Structures are given as C-alpha cells and as structure tokens.
Amino acid sequence: MTGRIGRLLPRSRKVRVALASLLALIVAVAVGGYVYEHNRTGNIYHPQARFVPQPTPVLPAVAPDRFSWPLYGYTKNHTRFFPAPARVGPPLNAIWYHNTHATLEFPPVIYGERIFQLADDGTLSAISKHNGHQFWARNLGRLSASTPAVDSTTVYATILSTGSSTSPGRVVALNTANGAIRWSRGLPAPSESSPLLDGGRLYFGTQSGLVFALNASNGRVIWTYNAGGSVKASPSLSGGILYFGDYSGHLQAVSEQSGRRVWISSSEGALFGSGTFYSTPAVIYGRVFLGNTDGRIYAYDAFSGKLDWAVQTGDYVYASPAVTNAPGVGPTIYLGSYSGTFYAINAQSGHVRWTFSAPGKISGSATIIGRVVYFADLAAHRTYGLDVSTGRVLFQVPTGSFDSVVSDGTHIFLNGITSLYSFAPR
C-alpha cells in the first residue's frame, strides 16, 4: 500500500505543476492580449502621410426638372456633401410627410420632380417632391437595406431577401415614369449594397463577397470580383478605381474597367480577427475614409492603401463618413459611433476638432447640406443638424433612426422612422 501511494505522489505533483504552468500561461496570454489589444485598437497617427488638397465642390447650374441626387451619398466618391446655398439651412418648417408603413433605413434619391424611396420591406416608391403624392409603388422582395440609383429614365435597386432559396438576392431596373420592370437579375447571395451607376455600368456588392459590374441597360454581367468577405457597403469611385471594405476586415481598390485588384489593405483591427467594414468609404484628398466595427475611424492612402491614421471611438462604427472643407476649420470628416458620440475630425491629421454627445448609439451616416451636418440617433429616434464648424445644434426633430437627409437645393427631405418628411426654410 505504501508503495502504491509513493508511486502516485510524484504523478500528483506533476499534475499540480502542469496546472500551475497552464494557469500562468493563461494569465500571461490575457495580460499580453490586453496590452496587444489596447495598442492595436488605439489611435494611430502618421503625420507625414500624403494629403492632396482639393477645391470644395459647388452646386451645378441645372434646370429644376433635371436636378438629380442620383446615388447614395450624392456623389460617386461618396463624400456625402451637398453644396446647398446657405438659405436652405435651419430654421426649417415641415411641409408634408409620406408614410411608407415600413422602416426607412436608407435615404432616397431624386431625379427631376420625383423622389425614389426603397423601404426595408422591399417596396420601391416614386413620390412627388412637391406634395408627397405617390405616383407608383412596386414590391421587389421581402427585405431591403440600401438606397437606389437613378438616372433620367431608370431607377435601380438591390434586394436583401427575395424569399427564394436559389436566388436570395436580386437587382432590378425599373422605368422611372411608371415603375415597369426593365430587367431583373437574381443574385446568388443577398445584397444590401447601394448600387453605383457610372458610364452605363452598375456596381454593387453581395454578402457572398462577390462584387458585380453589370451593363445598366440590360443587366448583363461584365465582370465579378471575389472580395473574400461580405461587401455590404456601396463601392465608391474615384479616378477609375472602385474602393470598398468587406467583412474580412480588408479595404480593397479595384479597377472600374477590368475588375482587377489594384491593392488590398487590412483594418489592423482586434486581437482575435480584424474588425469588419460596413461603412461606405468617402474618397477625397487622396485618401479613403471609413469606419470599422473595431471602433475606429480609418484614413488610408488612396494610391497605395497605406494607413494614414486611425482614431478609436470606443464602440462600433457602422456609419459612413461625410466630408467637407468646413468654413474657418478646414477639411473635416464627420461620423458617429455606437458610443453615442458624434465626431468632427481633421481630415489631414486625424485629430478631433469637436464632438457632440447624443443620448444613444449612432448607427446611420451623416450628410452635410451646405454648412449643416445632419445625423440621427438610433436609440432616441431623433435627428440633429449641427454647425459643421462648431458643432452647435441648429436643428432637431423627434424622429429618425438611421441615414437622415437629402436635398434638392430648395427643400430638405428627412427620413423619419417610417415616414419621409419635407422641410423648407422659414
């Protein structure tokens, strides 16, 4: 008996030593992970990074019946800045509203006298911008989460769920006058990527990671690109290059003409895998700006993909940035975080110019109309308009949850929870 106990004791000691070693290893990994995570997801600055000054856009002179807000974010580089005259700003009076009876997550587009709104229930509506009268409505699927694209004759929409197992996603082209379907293409995966229209081509991503370039006149596939992760944002276009982030945590630049990769860059995100990019990039000043679910706002060099700076907000950043050369302040990007903080950040240095504390998390993207930046608070269901230079509150209404406003240079059209509102200057 004594011999058996003697033989067991050394084994027990070995077990205790092994357990102690394992515990020490776990502690070391946890401490190291904390330090690594803190360093990886903190602020990063490269003050010598290239910055290309650019003139502030001006409003083109077009007849009212030819006015166009054609895409998500207004321009193809998605700066979300509309150079409206100062008279379009607050104070504002509500003129009319149109109830869609479905959640409005993404803003509409405008061509001429008509507004085209895609609600989350997959219904696309054509609405008079003068009085909110509905010209036509077409149900295109069960679920959608994107903004259409429009030209003088056709409106294009991507669908997140069709209800079909063989073609769960869909892209559709409709006649702007009567809503008749010009063509429709089933997709092998859902799409919540707002389509980009350029040069007779339609560009968008899917949840399978495929990015499509289609012939806008007939829906024929010109090329596809496999991103390696879901592409949920709208591609942004500048200088013949498409920029988009994906859910593998990479930002990619692809040739508009051929679909060939120009460069790929990581998000340098969290310890156990990179953060994901839901945000639509804004491309200006030789840089690509976008938010990430690792809590940071990123700026990359548009020519090489090198990281210029990254700023930590403390929580998810689903929002897409809005960018303008703010009076008296200079080039600035604006976007909110799930932390409830809305940021104005120096586009060159990455340093915070000012912040605004909202009552709750901010999920939707900001839009700049003239000298006012508008955004919605998802938790409080309230839309704010802030002075771009100071952050002072100029406008607020108790409705709105996601992406907030568009404009035709005379009125401001605001997404409420389920209704579209028209506001005019007093």
HEC-encoded secondary structure of the chain: CHHHHHHHHHHHHHHHHHHHHHHHHHHHHHHHHHHHHHHHCCCEECCCCCCCCCCCCCCCCCCHHHCEECCCCCCCCCCCEECCCHHHCCCEEEEEEEECCCCCCCCCEEECCEEEEECCCCEEEEEECCCCCEEEEEECCCECCCCCEECCCEEEEEECECCCCCCCEEEEEEECCCCCEEEEEEECCCCCCCCEEECCEEEEECCCCEEEEEECCCCCEEEEEECCCCCCCCCEEECCEEEEECCCCEEEEEECCCCCEEEEEECCCCCCCCCCCCCCCEEECCEEEEECCCCEEEEEECCCCCEEEEEECCCCCCCCCEEEEECCCEEEEEEECCCCEEEEEECCCCCEEEEEECCCCCCCCCEEECCEEEEEECCCCEEEEEECCCCCEEEEECCCCCCCEEECCCCEEEECCCEEEEEEEC
**pLDDT value at residue 49:** 87
The residue ranking higher by pLDDT, 3 or 125, is: 125
Percent over 90 (pLDDT), the chain: 78
The residue ranking higher by pLDDT, 57 or 77, is: 77
**pLDDT value at residue 28:** 55
The residue ranking higher by pLDDT, 8 or 399, is: 399
Domain 60-425 listed as CATH 2.130.10.10: yes
pTM, two decimals, is: 0.88
pLDDT tens sequence across 361-402: 999 999 999 999 999 999 899 999 999 999 999 999 999 999
Q: Has residue 118 got a pLDDT over 50?
A: yes
The residue ranking higher by pLDDT, 5 or 118, is: 118
Q: Has residue 2 got a pLDDT over 50?
A: no
Question: What are the structural domain ranges in the chain?
Answer: 1-40, 60-425
**pLDDT value at residue 402:** 93
**pLDDT value at residue 44:** 84
Q: Has residue 3 got a pLDDT over 70?
A: no
The pLDDT of 64-70, averaged and rounded, is 86
pLDDT tens sequence across 266-292: 866 444 445 899 999 999 999 999 999
Q: Has residue 27 got a pLDDT over 80?
A: no
